Amino acid sequence: MIQNVAEMMSHIFIQRAVLVGVLISLCAALLGVSLVLKRYSMIGDGLSHVGFGVLTVATAFGASTPLYIAIPCVTISAIVLLKIGNNSRIKSDSAIALISSSALAIGVAATSLTTGMNTDVCNFMFGSILAMSHTDVVISIVVSIIVAVLFIVYYRKLFVVTFDENFAKASGLKANRYTNIIAVLTALIIVVGMRMMGVMLISSIIIFPALTSMRIFKSFKKVIISSAIISVVSFLIGIYLSYIYNISTGAMIVIVNLVLFILFSIIEKIKN
Amino acid sequence: MDLIQIKDLSFSYPTKKDTLKNININVEQGKFTCIVGENGSGKSTLLKCILGLNKGYTGEIIKEQHIGYLPQKSEIQAHFPATIEEVVLSGTISNNVRSIFYKKEDKENAKKVMQKLGIYDVRKTCFADLSGGQQQRVLIARALCATKSIIVLDEPTNGLDPSIARQIYELLNTLKNEENITILMVSHDIERALNYADKVIEIENGVVTYNGEIEKYHNKHCECPCHHHDEEKEDGGAK
């Protein structure tokens, strides 16, 4: 196995993927805990579809670094989605369904008009570690560091806002600001991570680690720490298996997450 | 001394005009004040205005800076992974919003409050696993971490057994007497709540219809059956 790992890590593109993947998995897990607890799990899914729409349109028009266009667009969508969820006649689950299918449709239409369904589009859908350019790596690292730092700085406030928004507001916290921060950070992680994981699979690395940890751990801090560990470990196992058995990386990571989820659920049942 | 003064407060929701009309009330220090009224009378709206959760009211609210708040139960908390300690400690957030970590004095304070309320030994227990009454106890502890003077409660005994509800009222009464904490509570549960209250504010359709001492309120409503309480019997029935 050590030999396999050494061989795997000798490829530059895998080194890049491992670096970016570890950072993204870590951040996705941190954000995931808040999103799952606030019942915003589906936002990840919605945003990834918006990301797909924007990336394909940008690529169709020949943008050299589509990420530069995707990041602001998805960020704006994230804030809009949360606003809709808070106070509107269209409820957030319907809003997410509307926005995500519309974005997907526009993306698909744009590709049909230009290049057709080629490997690029397929890569957006299901992810590819080969798709990472040098710019992508740099952006991923910067974004991940921002997410991690903001998370630590706002940790206390995020807890209060997630646990009890009204209490947070009455304590003088600008609860909406922190919700927006979570939305924007989620948007960033999704755009950056979907190149590797794929549009269809990226939301799972946000949701799975949090849900898995919550099977066993009962304190907020432990859930956060365990999510981060589970996320990174699943990524590493996933990428290793994907290399050995030549399976799509994104899919393999999700499967590892699923296995861990089932394992933790069984442990929970036994404990009770 | 008044910890909260409300002058000429009016508030309308976009969908409902005049939810509150020309409210003039005050909350006296060291008293247990109970806001009563039917569903939709505007009592929770009034509370939200006091706490700054409802913006865009007219009139004036002068209030203590640090108010400990116990909101109505939210669905999110039912499966939330958080220990008692984490929840109680989070009450101190308003003391230092800026800092990244909890300060030592906040931790000390939270510890004292938990000891006082008899939840220190179980502080590592998950909040969601507690009974309804214990959860309210923890949330009262959290409110006490946010303030040294006044706690504001929104229907704290909703969904609790009568005997457990009585324990919550007893606890509030003890806090009032021993720690000089002012209590402002919105309640449906008029009959029991009024056993402990010093003052009553009654709201109907957004207007204050009674504001004063508890005794006179009983006299005013002597034809109303609700305060002919028979607590012994009720508690006996719950057991």
pLDDT in tens, chain A (272 residues): 888 888 888 888 888 889 889 999 999 999 999 999 988 888 888 999 999 899 888 888 777 777 888 889 999 988 888 777 666 666 777 888 888 899 989 988 888 887 776 777 777 788 877 767 788 788 888 988 998 899 899 999 999 999 998 999 988 888 888 888 888 889 989 988 888 888 888 889 999 999 999 999 999 999 999 999 999 999 999 999 999 999 988 999 999 999 999 999 999 999 88
Amino acid identity at B236:
G
Domains of chain A (ranges, CATH numbers): 2-266 (1.10.3470.10)
Amino acid identity at A265:
S
Sign of the torsion formed by the C-alpha atoms of B100, B114, B74 and B195: negative
The number of C-beta contacts closer than 8 angstroms across A and B is 91
Question: Looking at the partner chain, which of B69, B71, B86 has a beta carbon nearest the beta carbon of A219?
Answer: B86
Question: In angstroms, what is the C-alpha Rg of chain A?
Answer: 18
**In terms of domains, do B56 and B164 share one?**
yes
From B148, B167, B195, the end of a domain falls on B148
Q: How many residues does chain B have?
A: 239
| CA gap A262, A252 in Å, rounded | 15
Contact A218 B76 (CB under 8 A): no
| CA gap A148, A161 in Å, rounded | 18
In Å, how far is B122's CA from the nearest CA of chain A?
13
In Å, how far is B237's CA from the nearest CA of chain A?
32
| CA gap A213, A226 in Å, rounded | 6
Closest-approach residue (CA) in chain A for B124: A219
**In terms of domains, do B134 and B156 share one?**
no
**In terms of domains, do B160 and B216 share one?**
yes
From B102, B133, B148, the end of a domain falls on B148
In three-state secondary structure terms, A109 is helix
**In terms of domains, do B198 and B101 share one?**
no
In Å, how far is A142's CA from the nearest CA of chain B?
22
Q: Mutating which of A34, A154, A160, A264 best tests the B interface, going by the most B Cβ atoms within 10 A?
A: A160
In Å, how far is B46's CA from the nearest CA of chain A?
13
Which residues on chain A are in Cβ contact (under 8 Å) with B102? 156
From B124, B148, B172, the end of a domain falls on B148
The answer to whether A126 faces chain B, any CB pair under 8 Å, is no
**In terms of domains, do B57 and B159 share one?**
yes
Q: Mutating which of A218, A223, A224 best tests the B interface, going by the most B Cβ atoms within 10 A?
A: A218
Ramachandran area for residue A117 (φ above 0: left; ψ -120 to 50: alpha; else beta): beta
Q: What is the pLDDT of residue B101?
A: 86
**CB contact at 8 A, B168 and B86:** no
Question: Looking at the partner chain, which of B67, B71, B126 has a beta carbon nearest the beta carbon of A218?
Answer: B126
The answer to whether A83 faces chain B, any CB pair under 8 Å, is no
How does strand B32-36 pair with strand B199-204?
parallel
In three-state secondary structure terms, B57 is coil
**In terms of domains, do B86 and B137 share one?**
yes
CA nearest to A38, candidates A179, A197, A243: A179
Question: Looking at the partner chain, which of B77, B82, B93 has a beta carbon nearest the beta carbon of A173?
Answer: B93
In Å, how far is A216's CA from the nearest CA of chain B?
10
Q: How many CB atoms lie within 10 A of CB B179?
A: 12
Task: Report residue A179 as tokens.
Answer: 């919700």
Is residue B110 situated within a structural domain?
yes
How does strand B207-213 pair with strand B2-11?
unpaired
Is residue B109 situated within a structural domain?
yes
Low-confidence ranges of chain B (pLDDT < 70): 221-239
**In b/e form, how buried is each residue of A100-129, taking b as 16+ CB within 10 angstroms?**
beebbebbeebbeeeeeeeebbebbbebbb
Q: What is the pLDDT of residue B233?
A: 43
Question: Looking at the partner chain, which of A152, A157, A219 has a beta carbon nearest the beta carbon of B83?
Answer: A219
Task: Report residue A30 as tokens.
Answer: 């941190």
Which residues on chain B are in Cβ contact (under 8 Å) with A166? 51, 53, 69, 71, 74
| CA gap A144, A141 in Å, rounded | 5
pTM given for the model = 0.86
| CA gap A242, A120 in Å, rounded | 20
**CB contact at 8 A, A192 and A26:** no
- Domain total for chain B? 2
Is residue B69 situated within a structural domain?
no
Beta bridge partners of residue A176, listed in sequence order:
none
In Å, how far is A173's CA from the nearest CA of chain B?
8
How does strand B58-63 pair with strand B199-204?
unpaired
| CA gap B104, A80 in Å, rounded | 39
CA atoms in the 13 A half-sphere facing the CB of A239: 25
Is residue B70 situated within a structural domain?
no
In three-state secondary structure terms, B38 is coil
| CA gap B183, B172 in Å, rounded | 7
Question: Looking at the partner chain, which of B53, B81, B146 has a beta carbon nearest the beta carbon of A169?
Answer: B53
In three-state secondary structure terms, A114 is coil
Beta bridge partners of residue B183, listed in sequence order:
B32, B151
DSSP annotation of B100 reads: S
Helices (H) and strands (E) in chain B, counts: 8, 9
Helices B132-146 and B162-179 pack at an angle, to 10 degrees, of: 20
**In terms of domains, do B204 and B131 share one?**
no
In three-state secondary structure terms, B186 is strand
**CB contact at 8 A, B95 and B127:** no
CA angle A237, A238, A243 (to 5 degrees): 100
**In terms of domains, do B58 and B79 share one?**
no
In Å, how far is B224's CA from the nearest CA of chain A?
34
CA B174 vs CA A73, B53, B135, B170, B182: distances in Å: 55, 28, 18, 6, 11
CA atoms in the 13 A half-sphere facing the CB of A262: 5
Contact A167 B101 (CB under 8 A): no
Contact B81 A214 (CB under 8 A): yes
Report how far Cα B126 is from the mean position of its chain's Cα atoms.
23
| DSSP secondary structure, A58-101, as one string | HHHTT-S-HHHHHHHHHHHHHHHHHHHHHS-SS-HHHHHHHHHH
Amino acid identity at B188:
H
CATH number at B13 reads 3.40.50.300
Question: Looking at the partner chain, which of B80, B82, B94 has a beta carbon nearest the beta carbon of A171?
Answer: B94
CA nearest to A15, candidates A227, A228, A186, A243: A243
Q: What is the pLDDT of residue A86?
A: 63
The answer to whether A168 faces chain B, any CB pair under 8 Å, is yes
Contact A157 B93 (CB under 8 A): yes
**In terms of domains, do B166 and B60 share one?**
yes
Burial class (CB within 10 angstroms; exposed 0-12, middle 13-18, buried 19+) of B31: middle
**In terms of domains, do B174 and B114 share one?**
no
Contact B71 A155 (CB under 8 A): no
Contact A217 B81 (CB under 8 A): yes
**In terms of domains, do B160 and B191 share one?**
yes
Domain containing B231: what range? 1-64+150-239
Q: How many CB atoms lie within 10 A of CB B100?
A: 11
**In terms of domains, do B189 and B229 share one?**
yes
